[in-house]
Structure 1
């Protein structure tokens, strides 16, 4: 028995098919980009600026002192965590 060899199919593509595929890919990528842009715009929350405390606010000085102490506490906690992290890495 003699086996026949199979002919290898050519990989040539007509230009019509080639350009059609290119067009479809381009269209698909454009749709994906458009959807991503929509999601980015809708998902982003604008951070509102802190308006501060008005000048005619009663006990303004007291409020400012409280805010300042909170801010310093937060900074100290961050520094403490940083130091603890460094200590864990060094051990």
Structure 2
């Protein structure tokens, strides 16, 4: 399973999002710190989930980071998070 697929599966399981887009941006960071030759190190996540309703931006990011803690500790170098509640 690709890292993109792993991120998507973990976020779906943890947050049951209404919308989820996971983009591998590793090719934009080739040659930079943390970039690996095979990619799969830099990602953007755009997620809409009811779990974010009434929560601050920091709290939303913490929920995403918690769901991806294993991957962030070992494989993901950078993660851009755009987290919204439905209707925002």
TM-score interval w.r.t. the shorter chain? under 0.3
Q: TM-score with structure 1 length normalisation? A: 0.18
Q: TM-score with structure 2 length normalisation? A: 0.18
Please state which structure has a larger fraction of its residues in strand. 2
Please state which structure has a larger fraction of its residues in helix. 1
Task: Select the structure of larger CA radius of gyration.
Answer: 1
